[in-house]
Amino acid sequence: MLKIDRPTSADFLAGGGEMGALTRAYNWSASQLGPPQTWPQSLRTALRILLNTNHPMFIWWGPGLIQFYNDAYRQTMGPERHPSALGQGGRECWAEIWDIIGPQIEQVMSGGGATWHENQLVPVTRHGKLEQVYWTYGYSPIDEDDGIGGVLVVCRDVTKDYLASAALREREAELARVQQIGRIGGLEVDLRTGFRNRRSPEYLLIHGLPPDAANESHEDWVRRIHPEDREATEKKFRDAVAGRVREYTVQYRIIRPSDGETRWISVKSTIERDENGRAIRLVGAHSDVTEQVVADLALRQSEERFRNLADQLAELNATLAQRVEEKTRERDRIWNVSQDLLVVADRNGVWRTVNPAWTKTLGWSEAELLNRTSEWLEHPDDGGITRAHVKKLGDSETTVKFESRFRHRDGSYRWLSWTGVSDKDRNYAVARDVTAEKAAAERLKATEEALLQSQKMEAVGQLTGGIAHDFNNLLTGIVGSLDLLQTRLDQGRTDNVARYIDAAMTSANRAAALTHRLLAFARRQPLVPKSVDANRLVVSLEDLLRRTIGETIDLEIVASNDLWGTLCDPNQLESALLNLAINARDAMPDGGRLAIATANVRFDSVTADTPALSPGDYVSISVTDTGVGMSAEVAARAFDPFFTTKPIGQGTGLGLSMIYGFARQSNGHVTIDSKLGRGTSVKLYLPRHLGDVAAPHASAVRAPELAFTGETVLVVEDEPVVRGVILEMLGEQGYRTLEAVDGPSGLRILRTNERIDLLVTDVGLPGMNGRQVADQARETRPELRILFITGYAESVAISNGFLQPGMEMITKPFDLDHLAQRIRAMISG
């Protein structure tokens, strides 16, 4: 609150120029205040100060806010108010802006204390027109007895300064936008202290420093440089500072503190010196050129991306006009030296401004490029992609990224990589010439395709030989057993018939197992994924594993506490663990130790050991033995199909390849770590699943239940033998059966009024497949239960969303008891 001492002179209205004279001549006796001799001392003292100062001031006094002002304030008023504003009530005088200043005055008059307002927009009518005037002013209360008698206002018209500052801010924002698009980091170094006392946000981003990083010393910068580049880079810097040169240019590698990544940095700087030639300040620009260096090592020392990027950034204590000029000069310099192609276009895509890089890259002059759209430069096969993205910027999107081809003056085309942004009524775009990178990528792709084809041919050769060998052995067992069975039956003999049947079934089951392993390796084995508790599954296998590995091998199971759940086919997981246990047993003929452990594992990034895994959470199941181990060459081929180190007849070479296929099909991975004489450790990684864990898998064989009266099953199968076997089995179980040889005939039955309790259909039907039959059947029979039969996963969708509620799948070959159980369970469910 303003405290004003009692004046020593009684003539408090003396002086004050024109306003002093007008104040003295005013008939105050006719006003609310009465004659000046009766005015409160605080008002008289405030008026003496007001009239005799050269700073714009005015006073509002009393409940009516009677107005006084001085010559300095009179100069800011128009003829509409002066001199009538003298003695007038503030509300009447300033009615047009009272909604702005009224609450502020009320705050002071009610005892809220002094207020200060900077750059306040107060539109007022002056000289016959409404002007947008910006004011900086303060309200101070004037005491009267124990309350507030009035308000003393000190003010200044700052419109010119404010508008100049706004123009500067707009220029600065435009410069920052160009720097952001071009990924240019600016900095300023005080060479007398060694501290980097100003760094732009782009600089901090490029160098991997936090946004709130404080000033750093010269030593901090040196430690960030790659050890192989550190000595040469620092020497070049010190030589530049010690010499008489003005420009300092260098390219080096840094190790970013934020992520430990190595990046190539290109630096362009200007060194300022005093009158004695001593270096005092460095102003520079940093660019991340890693992609360019990696793409073509021969161009590591290419032209600097920016010439004379930043000139001296003078202290911001100069006038606003000087600051605008400096910022404009910096913007133009960046625009001119950028190697990237910069363009500003209007909303219709017409080019209004281009930088010199266009002429350097494409050969066209600035005059040829301006005031036209990009249509005449675009490659005819690109379908107007550039104009389409410009339209997106104009309609709704604010940022676009794309590639297109533009014609060079010599008639050839250059590939350009674009980034475009929208700002008010302008579109800004940066294009980079990536023609060389495109050519290199095409060469690399051709090489990779050639290598992949070679690998495919090698794998086909391995598969052909391995499959032919194993299946010939199995078919020999089946055919030989059936021949002997036929001979005995022709002779009327039934002795040894069961043995021949058992031998044929054994070979057939081995053939079925071989096809399942082949499908698992090829990742086409149909899985039935469920939420699995790996701890529970491993513990449930303990008795079986102990019987499998024998008494000479110690088995240890280490189950992790709080193990996550995983989503996989529990049958396939059991098979994989049993396979690994058998391999471990064979690797320890003289006994040893087998350990199975579970654990939670989190991968924050792709690693060399698990390149196929995406970052995330996984459940790990490791199987470790103390056996003979493998050499590095053997371990590298362990997952190859038909590769085995076991003697002929003791292994197919598909065990580990089947496990690999199961893991990859379950969105996981499997690794192997083995050394000769030190044993082997196989780790199976399965993705974490947050759902509820399914009930334990039951493997006990039950006798099939007979059908109830009237239950009907429709069988759609194109293979006559398979269809006949299924129909005969269903008939023996007491079911009423219907049959169809293909999808259309099956649908004709389904569209009748026949009672059908279950549809059994092959997935791989000719023409209309089994899933299409099921979808159309459910249009008229939405509650129909469906059992799919498949010999292989014809669609990748089978393991991901293929089965809907009320649908199940069984894989060929299957035994009839198992099929009967599945049918009984589905009909009764």
CATH number for position 616 = 3.30.565.10
Distances (CA, A) of 171 to 323, 325, 329: 10, 10, 10
Q: Give CA angle at 315 (312, 321), nearest 5°.
A: 90
Q: How many domains does the chain have?
A: 6
More confident residue, 713 or 583: 713
Predicted structure pTM score? 0.32
Q: Are residues 274 and 206 in the same domain?
A: yes
- Domain enclosing residue 489, as ranges: 439-521
Closest-CA residue to 67 (of 83, 89, 49): 89
Residue 694 lies inside a defined structural domain of this protein: no
DSSP, res 225? B
Would you call 782 exposed, middle or buried from its count of C-beta atoms within 10 A (0-12, 13-18, 19+)?
exposed
Q: Are residues 446 and 395 in the same domain?
A: no
Q: Are residues 110 and 237 in the same domain?
A: no
Strand ranges (E), 207-261: 247-255
pLDDT at 619 over 90: yes
Residue 490 lies inside a defined structural domain of this protein: yes
From first CA to last CA, the distance across the chain in angstroms is 87
Q: Are residues 538 and 673 in the same domain?
A: yes
Q: Say what the alpha-carbon torsion angle 256, 260, 266, 270 is, to the nearest 10 degrees.
A: 20
Q: What is the pLDDT of residues 754-785, one digit of tens each?
A: 999 999 999 888 888 898 999 999 999 999 99
- CATH number, domain of 302, equals 3.30.450.20
Q: Are residues 618 and 640 in the same domain?
A: yes
- Give the position of tokens 């088995």: 555
Residue 753 lies inside a defined structural domain of this protein: yes
Q: What is the pLDDT of residues 157-185, one digit of tens each?
A: 887 878 777 666 666 566 556 555 656 77
Q: Which residues contact 391 (CB under 8 A, 6 or more apart)?
A: 349
Mean pLDDT of 37-56: 87
Residue 11 lies inside a defined structural domain of this protein: no
Q: Are residues 132 and 172 in the same domain?
A: no
Q: Are residues 802 and 816 in the same domain?
A: yes
Which of 433, 468, 486 is the last residue before a domain boundary?
433
Whole-angstrom Cα distance, residue 598 to residue 539? 11
Residue 699 lies inside a defined structural domain of this protein: no
- Tokens linked to 382: 């690109």
Which of 416, 433, 450 is the last residue before a domain boundary?
433
pLDDT at 182: 54
Which of 658, 689, 720 is the last residue before a domain boundary?
689
Residue 349 lies inside a defined structural domain of this protein: yes
Residue 794 lies inside a defined structural domain of this protein: yes
Residue type, 395: D
- Tokens linked to 293: 């260096």
Q: What is the pLDDT of residues 188-244, one digit of tens each?
A: 888 887 776 677 788 888 888 887 776 777 888 888 999 999 999 889 888 888 887
Q: Are residues 47 and 137 in the same domain?
A: yes
More confident residue, 139 or 473: 139
Q: Are residues 193 and 324 in the same domain?
A: yes
Mean pLDDT of 125-131: 80
Q: Are residues 217 and 304 in the same domain?
A: yes
Strand ranges (E), 651-711: 669-675, 679-689
- Tokens linked to 270: 């200007």
Whole-angstrom Cα distance, residue 600 to residue 559? 11
DSSP, res 305? S
Q: Indicate the angle between helix axes 655-665 and 570-587, nearest 10 degrees.
A: 150
- Strand 758-762 versus strand 785-790 pairing type: parallel
Q: Are residues 397 and 427 in the same domain?
A: yes
pLDDT at 652 over 60: no
- Give the position of tokens 């010190």: 238
Q: Are residues 667 and 735 in the same domain?
A: no
How many other C-beta atoms can be found within 10 angstroms of the C-beta atom of residue 249? 15
Residue 695 lies inside a defined structural domain of this protein: no
248-252, 299-303, 550-554: the lowest-pLDDT one = 299-303
